[in-house]
Amino acid sequence: MKDHRVLSPREEVAAEDELFRALLSLQDLAECRAFLQDLCTPAELQALKDRWAVAECLAEGLSYRQVHDRTGVSLTTISRVARFLTSGAGGYQKALERLKK
Protein backbone atom coordinates (compact mmCIF):
# COMPACT_ATOMS: atom_id res chain seq x y z
CA MET A 1 0.00 0.00 0.00
CA LYS A 2 1.37 3.40 -0.97
CA ASP A 3 2.07 6.03 1.64
CA HIS A 4 -0.32 8.90 1.91
CA ARG A 5 1.18 11.87 0.08
CA VAL A 6 1.84 14.87 2.28
CA LEU A 7 3.52 17.16 -0.25
CA SER A 8 1.55 20.02 -1.65
CA PRO A 9 1.16 20.23 -5.44
CA ARG A 10 3.84 22.94 -5.45
CA GLU A 11 6.21 20.72 -3.44
CA GLU A 12 5.50 17.79 -5.80
CA VAL A 13 6.54 19.95 -8.78
CA ALA A 14 9.69 21.04 -6.93
CA ALA A 15 10.57 17.42 -6.13
CA GLU A 16 10.00 16.45 -9.77
CA ASP A 17 12.20 19.34 -10.92
CA GLU A 18 14.97 18.18 -8.60
CA LEU A 19 14.76 14.66 -10.00
CA PHE A 20 15.03 16.01 -13.53
CA ARG A 21 17.98 18.22 -12.53
CA ALA A 22 19.68 15.16 -11.05
CA LEU A 23 19.22 13.31 -14.35
CA LEU A 24 20.57 16.27 -16.31
CA SER A 25 23.62 16.47 -14.03
CA LEU A 26 24.82 13.01 -15.03
CA GLN A 27 27.78 13.18 -17.36
CA ASP A 28 27.96 9.85 -19.09
CA LEU A 29 26.32 6.49 -19.67
CA ALA A 30 27.96 4.87 -16.64
CA GLU A 31 26.73 7.61 -14.30
CA CYS A 32 23.22 7.39 -15.77
CA ARG A 33 23.18 3.60 -15.42
CA ALA A 34 24.36 3.78 -11.80
CA PHE A 35 21.77 6.45 -10.92
CA LEU A 36 18.87 4.55 -12.47
CA GLN A 37 19.98 1.27 -10.90
CA ASP A 38 19.98 2.98 -7.51
CA LEU A 39 16.73 4.83 -8.10
CA CYS A 40 14.62 2.06 -9.65
CA THR A 41 13.76 -1.46 -8.65
CA PRO A 42 14.87 -4.08 -11.19
CA ALA A 43 11.23 -4.36 -12.36
CA GLU A 44 10.89 -0.59 -12.78
CA LEU A 45 14.12 -0.41 -14.75
CA GLN A 46 12.98 -3.31 -16.94
CA ALA A 47 9.70 -1.52 -17.62
CA LEU A 48 11.60 1.61 -18.69
CA LYS A 49 13.87 -0.44 -20.96
CA ASP A 50 10.87 -2.24 -22.46
CA ARG A 51 9.04 1.02 -23.20
CA TRP A 52 12.10 2.51 -24.83
CA ALA A 53 12.63 -0.60 -26.97
CA VAL A 54 8.99 -0.37 -28.06
CA ALA A 55 9.38 3.32 -28.94
CA GLU A 56 12.43 2.54 -31.07
CA CYS A 57 10.61 -0.29 -32.87
CA LEU A 58 7.53 1.82 -33.55
CA ALA A 59 9.75 4.63 -34.85
CA GLU A 60 11.21 2.09 -37.30
CA GLY A 61 7.67 1.51 -38.56
CA LEU A 62 7.16 -1.98 -37.18
CA SER A 63 3.62 -3.22 -36.59
CA TYR A 64 2.40 -3.92 -33.08
CA ARG A 65 2.71 -7.66 -33.73
CA GLN A 66 6.28 -7.24 -35.00
CA VAL A 67 7.15 -5.14 -31.95
CA HIS A 68 5.66 -7.80 -29.66
CA ASP A 69 7.55 -10.58 -31.45
CA ARG A 70 10.83 -8.66 -31.19
CA THR A 71 10.49 -7.43 -27.60
CA GLY A 72 8.01 -9.73 -25.86
CA VAL A 73 6.22 -6.64 -24.52
CA SER A 74 2.44 -6.85 -24.16
CA LEU A 75 0.18 -5.35 -26.80
CA THR A 76 -1.32 -3.12 -24.08
CA THR A 77 2.08 -1.58 -23.35
CA ILE A 78 2.86 -1.25 -27.05
CA SER A 79 -0.43 0.56 -27.57
CA ARG A 80 0.27 2.88 -24.62
CA VAL A 81 3.74 3.76 -25.95
CA ALA A 82 2.29 4.33 -29.43
CA ARG A 83 -0.31 6.70 -27.98
CA PHE A 84 2.37 8.73 -26.21
CA LEU A 85 4.54 8.76 -29.32
CA THR A 86 1.78 10.56 -31.18
CA SER A 87 -0.13 12.41 -28.45
CA GLY A 88 2.25 12.69 -25.51
CA ALA A 89 4.48 15.51 -24.32
CA GLY A 90 6.98 14.93 -27.13
CA GLY A 91 9.68 13.35 -25.01
CA TYR A 92 9.91 10.11 -26.97
CA GLN A 93 10.09 12.01 -30.25
CA LYS A 94 12.77 14.41 -29.02
CA ALA A 95 14.97 11.60 -27.70
CA LEU A 96 14.50 9.53 -30.87
CA GLU A 97 15.42 12.53 -33.05
CA ARG A 98 18.51 13.31 -31.01
CA LEU A 99 19.75 9.74 -31.03
CA LYS A 100 19.43 9.57 -34.83
CA LYS A 101 22.03 12.34 -35.19
Instruction: Give the pLDDT mean for 39-58.
Output: 98
pLDDT computed for residue 90 by the predictor = 96
pLDDT computed for residue 14 by the predictor = 97
CB 59 within 8 A of CB 96: yes
The structure's pTM equals: 0.88
Q: Which CATH number fits domain 41-101: 3.30.465.10, 1.10.1270.10, 3.30.565.10, 3.30.300.30?
A: 1.10.1270.10
Interatomic CA distance for residues 16 and 21, integer angstroms:
9
- Higher-confidence position of 36 and 5: 36
pLDDT computed for residue 2 by the predictor = 63
Instruction: Give the pLDDT mean for 70-76.
Output: 97
Interatomic CA distance for residues 90 and 71, integer angstroms:
23
- Higher-confidence position of 69 and 2: 69
* Residue ranges per structural domain of the chain: 1-39, 41-101
pLDDT computed for residue 4 by the predictor = 76
CB 56 within 8 A of CB 96: yes
pLDDT computed for residue 60 by the predictor = 96
Q: Provide the mean pLDDT of the chain.
A: 95
CB 98 within 8 A of CB 61: no
